[in-house]
Amino acid sequence: MLQRESSFAKEALRYGLIVLVLGFIVFPIAWMIITSFKPADAIMVSPPRFLFTPTLENYVHAIYDKNFLFYIKNTLFISVASTIIVVVTGSLAAYSFARYNVGDGHLLFFILSTKMFPAIAVILPYFLIFREVGKTGIGSFLGIGLDRPGALIISYTVFNLPFAIWLLVSFFQDIPRELEHSARLDGLSRLKVLAKVVCPLAAPGIAVTGVFTLIFSWNEFLFAYILTRKAASTVTVGVESFFTLQGILWGPVAAAATISVLPMLVFVLAMQRYMVRGLTFGAVRG
């Protein structure tokens, strides 16, 4: 009886703390979403206004006047394409590192070290590379070049690969080798083992990696801003058109930001199933 009470108190404390943490995390975003429904004259006021007649005018402005969905479409295409490339090539490489120890750690270190070069120092070489590639037939065929989506897909792939490979290596290493060995004994080829046995087991890790890769690509600003002009611009660049000479259009910015969070949320919710699979891990192993 006493024990149950104390465990109830413990649970209450736990959920109390969780609510507190979530409050801190959610509150700025919540304020942003609230702002997106405010009429223009209720935003920059002191004291802050909590009661107001909600309006959709900010969304109308963002979607119709600023054509924000165009940027969403660009960003979706670019970040999904880049994420697929990263997850596929990253998984292959990570599996190789985790199982065969290619390069004895040196290659892994080299891969991580490419992340240590400041982005701003590589931006100009990238600009020049893509300018040249863009002039060629291959460039225009593959959509690579300045203000073409390929330039950003490649850039984001390069940035996210080191992170993805390192994260995946640690997940792959947690998978017991015995399963692979027995699958090989059953006559499966190495690639089949990777696809049918290893990847399903590593699903939580791959899902987590995919989620973060997508999010990082979705949110990147500097390269999108330098390498695109309009046709291939992404949401982070699109938001810039809300910073006007009459000041920042807070309401429409909030609406645009809220719109751009939605695809990520849907994606994360969809990936939940795979991320949770880790729970059953022990069962498989046993």
Pick out residues in 16-75 that bind other proteins (CB under 8 A): 17-18, 21-22, 24-26, 28-29, 31-32, 35, 41, 44-48, 65
In the complex with other proteins, the residue whose CB is nearer, 54 or 109, is: 109
Q: For other proteins, which residue of 89, 142, 143, 199 counts as binding (CB under 8 A)?
A: 89
Site for other proteins in 119-178 (CB under 8 A): 119-129, 131, 146-147, 154-155, 157-158, 161-163, 165-167, 169-171, 173-174, 176-178
Question: Does residue 235 touch other proteins according to CB under 8 A?
Answer: yes
Residues 6+ apart with CB under 8 A from 74: 149, 232, 233, 234, 235
- The secondary structure element, H or E, covering residue 243 is strand 243-244
Identify which range of 52-60, 88-96, 136-144 contacts other proteins by CB under 8 A. Answer: 88-96
Residues 6+ apart with CB under 8 A from 180: 99, 193, 197, 198
The CB density around residue 205, as the number of other CB atoms within 10 Å, is 25
By the 8 A CB rule, do 216 and 78 touch?
Answer: no
CB of 86 to other proteins, least distance (A): 9
CB of 212 to other proteins, least distance (A): 7
Question: Does residue 5 touch other proteins according to CB under 8 A?
Answer: no
CB of 180 to other proteins, least distance (A): 10
In the complex with other proteins, the residue whose CB is nearer, 17 or 56, is: 17
Q: From the centroid of its chain, how far is CA 160?
A: 9
Burial of 90 (0-12, 13-18, 19+ CB in 10 A): buried
Burial of 125 (0-12, 13-18, 19+ CB in 10 A): exposed
Site for other proteins in 191-230 (CB under 8 A): 204-205, 208, 211-212, 215, 218-222, 225-226, 229-230
Q: For other proteins, which residue of 1, 2, 51, 283 counts as binding (CB under 8 A)?
A: 283
Please state the length of the chain: 286
